[in-house]
Structure 1
Amino acid sequence: MRRQPRQLVYDLLLWFFLSVLAAASGPDPFAEPGRFLFVTGGRVLLLGVAVAVGRPWPLAAVVVLLPLGPWAFDEGLATASWDFSGGQATGDQAWPLSLLAVKIFPLTPTTLAVVWYAYLTGRRLARTWPAVVVFGAAAVVGAGVVLSQGGLLRLWVTMVSGLVGCYVVPYLLGVLRQGVLLQRERTQQSVAAQARLRERTRIAHDMHDSLGHDLALIAVRAAGLEIAPGLTPAQAKAAGELRVAASEATERLRQIVGLLRDDVDPAPLAPVDEDLTALVERARDSGMEVAVEIAPGPVPALAHRVVQEGLTNAAKHAPGAWVRVTVAPGRISVRNGPARGRSTALSGGMGLTGLRERVRLAGGTMTAGPVDDGFELVVLPHAGEGDPHDA
């Protein structure tokens, strides 16, 4: 793996820091220059190799640093005093019979490198068995060192605590850190996926509410032009083709919206920025026969969306029919009469389904279905409830 310049600088600084620790804990270079060169120079060399291979292969660095493991029994982070007053401690006659000092966690300055790369092994290694093999080899080496010095109980305690402190604990901390980072990454990916779904839903609703409404009005205009008097057969045929093309485009739009839509997590939507009067006038300009009655009082927040959906459905499914819009503080209705022309629209769109959910979230009720020879959409909003999608 080729290092970036910043990584190279970090590795050199790490090697320098570990080398300083190794030199500080080694023999005196003035009193014992030969031993200093042999011991400290060997440690610095091992540390250099470990730093060189430790970034891409931290477990290899652990193997390289095995000679710097917790093999010193006279140094430790803690010392435990055991009471042996009840009997003689064979092999430890140098200690008082009532007190035996046991070193716990023999971590020296040079073993900090072992701890660091054991931690990186747990954090970066995907599989567990290579680490188990290396740590098992370290345990075998430690057992050999203890047995070579008599196999005393205090030595076993020192060695086991050293192996746990140098290898096992840092490795487990690295595994824990890796799990935390993976969980955080999954959470970020989940949040990004939800954001994409919400944006797709917003686009889908925007396309349905705005573009679908406009296409329906184009089809109405073409239908009115098709039956207008004074047109030649070719002109009437062209108007009919335009009406069919607009209806087919509406159907393709419905299919695209179906692909973009997310039924699980509907997103907020701001429809076309126009009031009810402008919405009705635009429908009238397209050739629809629309009558409007707005009762005194506050206009429900859902009114624009309900009227828009009602006019769109009437334009698609009942071309040429009269439409009556009634808006009151406690009731919104859009009713149309029988169709005067042939409808080319297909049923099964998401308009009424999405509107029903929006009304439900606002705390209202909605009914839609055939009435006499036409169709009626009725919404009863609760007083004081607004559009949940800020329409």
Structure 2
Amino acid sequence: MWGGRLRETVLDLGLWGVLVVPVLLRLDPNDGGSWGQVAMGVVGLGAGVAVCRTRPLLALALAVALSLATSPELFTPPYALALVVFGYLAGRRRRHTRAALALFAAIAALGFALVPLSDGNVSQGFTVVLALALAVVAPWLTGRYVRQYARLVRAGWELAARMEREQAAVADRERLRERSRIAGDMHDSLGHDLALIALRAAALEVDPGLGARQQAAAGELRVAAAHATARLRDIIGVLRTDDEQGPDAAPTTPVAETVEEVVERSRASGLSVELTLTGRPGEDTPPMVDRAAHRLVVESLTNAAKHAPGAPVRVALERTDDTLTVSVTNGPGAGTRTTGAAPGRTQAQAQTQTQTRTQAQAHAQAQMQRGDGMSRRVRAAAPGAPGGTGLVGLDERVRLAGGRLTHGARADGGFAVRAVLPLVPGATAAPSPARPAAPASVRERDRARQEVRRGLAQAIWIPLALVAALGVVMLVFGLWTQSRSFLDRDDYTGLRVGDPLSADAERLPPHPLDGPPASAPPEPPGMDACLYYRAAMTASVPVYRLCLVDGRLAAKAVVG
């Protein structure tokens, strides 16, 4: 807070210092002004800068009043920069335009009202309007444009940030949904085991070889297993999402289905799948790892069939002592495939094969519809697919199993998904992916702001550097020209009335001034010509006046 105010104060003081420079240079007594005018300009511009942040139109009105007080034509060198700056800031900092338009109309009317004070010169009113348009209205419009552009950019970044937050919310929701699916898988697995326990307990309960006490204990075990199954079903029902509940919810995939059976189902539906097994992937695999591998293969095959039809798919399971690696890769899609009878095969055989394939596809589709809901709500694993949350769910399932998931496009245009799952008993879930300290939209906005500031700085300092260089050149040229018209005091004192003299005399500078200064008294009568030379290098007044008659010095004086 204090840092922002200090920064604003420093900027305002710097602006005030820049605006008063023309006033100090053009209104001093050496240029026909007065110290009173200088003081009025410095104080007036300071007041304008002080109120410019809260009342920019009042600051602009102060600059206009100071300029009109100096010249009724409005545009004056001492206040030209102030008019441009305050006009721009009025457009940049003020939202509404009605008051600004009213101020412009009042300035134009005042310009024509001052016509009687200028001996009825109507052109002065048009001069005021022209100066108003170029020095005030044009910068004001520029400030309005910059304000609107900044507002649009800010709205765009806010929209991007909101969309990014919504995307993060969708990812979080998908992770929760994946956890509910995992809970459903565990329900099926535990429910299956509890059902077997209850079945065996029931068999023991009616076993005539057991005593009454043992049969009663078996009955209690059966009842406890049934109650545990009911409680488990209630708990999982709470964890399931709304779209997975209800009478129409699809049942889960059979617990005993293996990756080999998934591949066979995909082949039966017409998908070209190659399965590679290394080691013994099905032996003593933890339930979470087994379900994660199953889910990854099902999701990847479904996405390959959806987004890369006709492309061959390679499924590889590699088991070591500690890890199970599951990878699914596919090449780019071949587009629409055409089928026809092979050479030497009759049309009836081809039709029979087509019917058989159709039945197999229908059977496979029915089996997939009896799955755990993955085929109902498959998300695209390929880039650019609608939804885009399938990989989020896979990543959450693999993470909860203690593994890590990698995915991405391949150089040949295909896609690859790979998971490394631990086989160590009691493996803990990997930590959740930490979100960046700042969202991507915020980082992009900061980078864009830096680029805009850099471009704005270049747009400011390059013209200023050019103006400074031009000013240095003009200063050097002005000093050089002034030195050509500068008459040394000793040389002036050495001149005597009656000495032969001419404009190109060696005793005089090579270039006299073009004429007398405005404050010089009238020339003496009877003189053929009067020559004017600078008495000082850095001041325009006073000057030396040398008047000639018949080529001789007739009078000399210091004027101005």
**Alignment partner, residue 255 of structure 2:** 288
Mapping of residues 305-384 of structure 1, within 5 Å: 305=296, 307=298, 336=367, 351-352=374-375, 354-355=377-378
Deviations 1:305-354 (A, max 9, x none): 5625999xxxxxxxxxxxxxxx9989995764999xxx9x9xxx8x5454
**Alignment partner, residue 538 of structure 2:** none
**Alignment partner, residue 19 of structure 2:** 18
**Alignment partner, residue 221 of structure 1:** 189
AA aligned to 2:11 is Y
Higher relative contact order at CA 8 Å, sep ≥6: structure 1 or structure 2? 1
Deviations 1:17-50 (A, max 9, x none): 2222211110326x98xx6222111111101111
**Alignment partner, residue 178 of structure 1:** 147
User: How far has the Cα of 1:179 moved from its partner?
Assistant: 1.0
**Alignment partner, residue 374 of structure 1:** none
Mapping of residues 199-238 of structure 1, within 5 Å: 199-208=168-177, 210-227=178-195, 228=197, 229-230=200-201, 231-238=221-228
Unmatched 5+ stretches in structure 2: 202-220, 246-251, 265-271, 277-293, 303-327, 334-359, 387-411, 420-560
Mapping of residues 3-82 of structure 1, within 5 Å: 4-28=5-29, 36-69=34-67
AA aligned to 1:63 is A
> Would the alpha carbon gap of residues 57 and 328 (structure 1) be closer, same or farther in structure 2, given more than 3 Å must change?
closer
**Alignment partner, residue 250 of structure 1:** 240
Distance of 1:169 and 1:290 partners within structure 2: 76
Normalised to the residue count of structure 2, the TM-score between the two structures is: 0.43
Normalised to the residue count of structure 1, the TM-score between the two structures is: 0.59
> Would the alpha carbon gap of residues 352 and 117 (structure 1) be closer, same or farther in structure 2, given more than 3 Å must change?
farther
AA aligned to 1:194 is M
> Would the alpha carbon gap of residues 128 and 362 (structure 1) be closer, same or farther in structure 2, given more than 3 Å must change?
closer
Deviations 1:222-276 (A, max 9, x none): 3224422323413420222112211321136969xxxxxxxxxxxxxxxxxxxxx
**Alignment partner, residue 161 of structure 1:** 130
Distance of 2:275 and 2:6 partners within structure 1: 66
> Would the alpha carbon gap of residues 140 and 15 (structure 1) be closer, same or farther in structure 2, given more than 3 Å must change?
same
Report the 3-state secondary structure (helix = DSSP H, G, I; strand = E; otherwise coil) of the residue aligned with 2:257.
Answer: strand
Report the 3-state secondary structure (helix = DSSP H, G, I; strand = E; otherwise coil) of the residue aligned with 1:5.
Answer: helix
Distance of 1:5 and 1:130 partners within structure 2: 30
Matched, 1:239 2:229: yes
Report the 3-state secondary structure (helix = DSSP H, G, I; strand = E; otherwise coil) of the residue aligned with 2:226.
Answer: helix
Deviations 1:116-165 (A, max 9, x none): 11111111111111112222221222112234214435323322211112
Q: Is the 8 A contact 1:146 1:159 kept in 2?
A: no
User: How far has the Cα of 1:111 moved from its partner?
Assistant: 2.9
> Would the alpha carbon gap of residues 335 and 307 (structure 1) be closer, same or farther in structure 2, given more than 3 Å must change?
farther
Larger radius of gyration: 2
Report the 3-state secondary structure (helix = DSSP H, G, I; strand = E; otherwise coil) of the residue aligned with 1:189.
Answer: helix
Q: Is the 8 A contact 1:118 1:171 kept in 2?
A: yes
Q: Is the 8 A contact 2:60 2:83 kept in 1?
A: yes
AA aligned to 2:257 is V
Identity of aligned residues (%): 23
Distance of 2:77 and 2:42 partners within structure 1: 15
Q: Is the 8 A contact 2:180 2:236 kept in 1?
A: no
